[in-house]
A and B are shown apart, each in its own frame.
Chain A
């Protein structure tokens, strides 16, 4: 995506009043709830540090951890598949579905499946897919895309959701969230009972036990992973934590950061398929469990200066805290992962060439870093990507030239003093009441929104010289 395309999206988002209302409401509420939830911890910093340490420990020896994880999964009766990219992952999951005669899939929320565009692949193979997370269900009905990694319809007001239901499901319009949820649940219930394939993501893979941990607030994940006879879990290779203890710390900060809860309502631990089909009372669970471990650019992120980014637990706190996200929402980024975390993840996973505009979409205010429960230094990573952009990508020549000229002058105090005198003669002719309302070149970006002050009649160092 080019810079101008990005800025066009930004302009469109800024012009959308309804979006503005939805974003304002949601992000403010999420931030307030997060603060309260962390206040209930005795030592929030210590829990955050433990969560970070667990993720970093897994990343440090990721290859070994992955091998061990695979061994444990297999020992638990789970079939493991490796997928280098989106194509391999889709092909693997389609093959599992078709070879087992699965025709109806229910899905839990999974950003990895958005990454690889799994729904389209399954539907092309004749497998019907229905999203079972309420937000994702609305997105699917509306043929939309999630705009937030935790709350897919953060960009929608409840009034809009009512309209979507009215249009797509033929029900009466209502803006009442409880009524809307009831309607969705009724529709989804039929689909759950008929489904023969359950697809989920996973929040964590615990290496020492070969366990998948999937959290949700709606119970849909539990049903997706236990009702259908086949369960496929798709997870990025960055989802590992070494031990149960690490999982415990990660869960504590995830619930608080994501939704401001002490803990999520459902924490599903998947330890494998049901052992015996003929037990009485009958054991719950699918006949088969498959785990698809997805790379899709994650090893690229790991290899660079940005490795720390893979410690991300996808809580979305940095989105809610980001003043840019608050202004434009997720879609403007044109990236599956929006906000500060997406502005690091997407360019590193998918390549800087196509996403060089994302690291620029930040004022480097540091609110994301402060919010991040695993202490990822997002501004530092964004800066690293900006440096890589300057080094590797074609940059607007005007900017390059302007900065070169600026550096040349700033490194030469005497030249600076000379130019200052020139500016004092020229600028007042262009100014009104001491302010420039329009400036040329790069500075036009400034004067598009604000006036520009004139250079001081007497600079500080000139004043200093008169004092001595």
Chain B
């Protein structure tokens, strides 16, 4: 379990790391950059300087989970070598990529001692974003999400295209003003791989205007599973339907999670069903709750500001 890993334990102690490396993951980098931007904002508000190691793409997980070792290695090698050349915690805004770095890499490179050693060093530095944020939560302030909080789920939002507005004829009740009903989807590799259970929920609870609604069978897989979703479309689709039904029954306006793969899968399925439920990375929700005028980074408080709610 991650709780026993040295890093996760160390984070709760002083002195806290001043610099972290962000591994944005390929999905965030290419498809949902808003998640990466939110992560940067949150980390900086927590008084941490963020660095982006050059040349990172993907952790190799899609190939590894499909059994393609050579392809996984080709991608993963560069990633761990580049990460190993940096210093400080490696923050990952994804449970499954985190699990890949923490657990799977060691198995992937088990027959290559040099890379296995590199993988071990990297693994010991990896921390999932909400795990990191929860550990340093006292150092930044979360206020309220905007009353009409509507996360971007579709591309084109930046370009001002109305790609993320509801489709015509879309039904669904709108939230009471000033409240956003959020169902949290604990993704499998985050919970069962990294052992990160309560942290994201704890963070979401600190946000005024967010009402966490219970989700039936919340810890059940949404059916994404990487290439599983394209190789076993029927199974994946049936699991997706079950999750979408549970989400609809929960009355949530937004489903939040720490894995962009699950979220894209859910968003794609919800869009296909014409549902009004939006998907959103936990980081986006938290970033939306940051007070709009941040203190400049250099003056970021090292101890909790007086106004901060108790963790």
Contact = CB atoms under 8 A, between A and B. Distances in A.
Interface of A: 7, 10-11, 14, 323-324, 327-328, 360-367, 369-370, 380, 383, 385-391, 399-400, 403-404, 406-408, 410-411, 413, 416, 420, 433-435, 442-446, 448-464
Nearest to B26: A410
B48 to A, nearest CB: 16
A146 B237 CA distance: 26
Contacts of B70: 407
A364 B238 contact: no
10 contacts: A324-B239, A386-B66, A403-B68, A413-B56, A413-B57, A433-B167, A449-B233, A450-B237, A459-B29, A460-B30
B220 A453 contact: no
A450 B30 CA distance: 19
Contacts of B167: 433
Contact of A457 (B56, B158, B192, B264): B158
Interface stretch (B9-17, B139-147, B222-230): B222-230
Interface in B71-104: 71-72, 74-75, 77-78
Interface in B134-160: 153-159
A460 B163 CA distance: 19
B57 A453 contact: no
Given A420-B30, A454-B163, A458-B158, 4 more contacts: A7-B232, A363-B221, A434-B164, A446-B230
Nearest to B160: A457
Contacts of A327: 235, 238-239, 242
Given A445-B230, A451-B268, A367 B221 contact: yes
Nearest to A437: B272
A460 B71 contact: no
Nearest to B154: A434
A31 to B, nearest CB: 9
A416 B57 contact: yes
Q: Which of A362, A434, A445 has the largest number of chain B CB atoms within 10 A? A: A434
B27 to A, nearest CB: 10
B293 to A, nearest CB: 18
A380 B223 CA distance: 18
Nearest to B153: A453
Nearest to B50: A464
B188 to A, nearest CB: 4
A363 B284 CA distance: 26
B304 interface: no
B161 interface: yes
A444 B164 CA distance: 22
B265 interface: yes
B155 A455 contact: yes
Contacts of B69: 387, 390-391
Q: Which of B71, B159, B219, B272 has the largest number of chain A CB atoms within 10 A? A: B71
B162 interface: yes
Given A363-B188, A445-B233, A460 B155 contact: no
Interface in B227-263: 228-240, 242
A361 B56 CA distance: 31
A408 B72 CA distance: 10
The range of chain B's interface size is 35 or more
Contacts of B269: 449-450
Interface of B: 24, 26, 28-33, 36-37, 40, 52, 55-58, 60, 62-72, 74-75, 77-78, 107, 153-159, 161-164, 167, 188-189, 192-193, 219-221, 223-226, 228-240, 242, 264-265, 267-269, 271-272
Contacts of B226: 364
A323 B192 contact: no
A170 B58 CA distance: 64
Given A413-B55, A453-B31, A403 B154 contact: no
Contact of B271 (A383, A450, A454): A450
B133 to A, nearest CB: 18
A406 B233 CA distance: 20
Given A433-B167, A449-B233, A406 B62 contact: yes
Contact of A454 (B26, B156, B242): B156
A366 B194 CA distance: 11
A378 to B, nearest CB: 11
Given A456-B33, A459-B33, A366 B234 contact: no
A128 B1 CA distance: 53
A364 B64 CA distance: 12
A391 to B, nearest CB: 8
A30 to B, nearest CB: 14
Nearest to B238: A327
A399 B68 CA distance: 10
Nearest to A357: B232
A379 to B, nearest CB: 9
Contacts of A443: 230
Given A406-B71, A433-B167, A459-B29, A449 B236 contact: yes
Give 3 closest A-B pairs by Cβ, nearest first: A434-B163, A450-B268, A363-B225
A460 B55 contact: no
A384 to B, nearest CB: 9
Contacts of B56: 413
A458 B157 CA distance: 11
Contacts of A411: 57, 74-75, 77-78
B39 to A, nearest CB: 9
Given A363-B225, A457-B158, A460-B33, A14 B67 contact: no
Contacts of B240: 449-450
Contact of B36 (A400, A403, A408, A460): A460
A323 B239 contact: yes
Q: Which of B58, B230, B272 has the largest number of chain A CB atoms within 10 A? A: B230
A460 B28 contact: yes
Contact of B155 (A385, A399, A454, A461): A454
A403 B221 contact: no
A389 to B, nearest CB: 6
A451 B272 contact: yes
Nearest to A369: B192
B154 A446 contact: no
A328 B235 contact: yes
Contacts of B223: 323, 363
B93 to A, nearest CB: 10
A222 B226 CA distance: 48
B68 A457 contact: no
A457 B223 CA distance: 28
B230 to A, nearest CB: 3
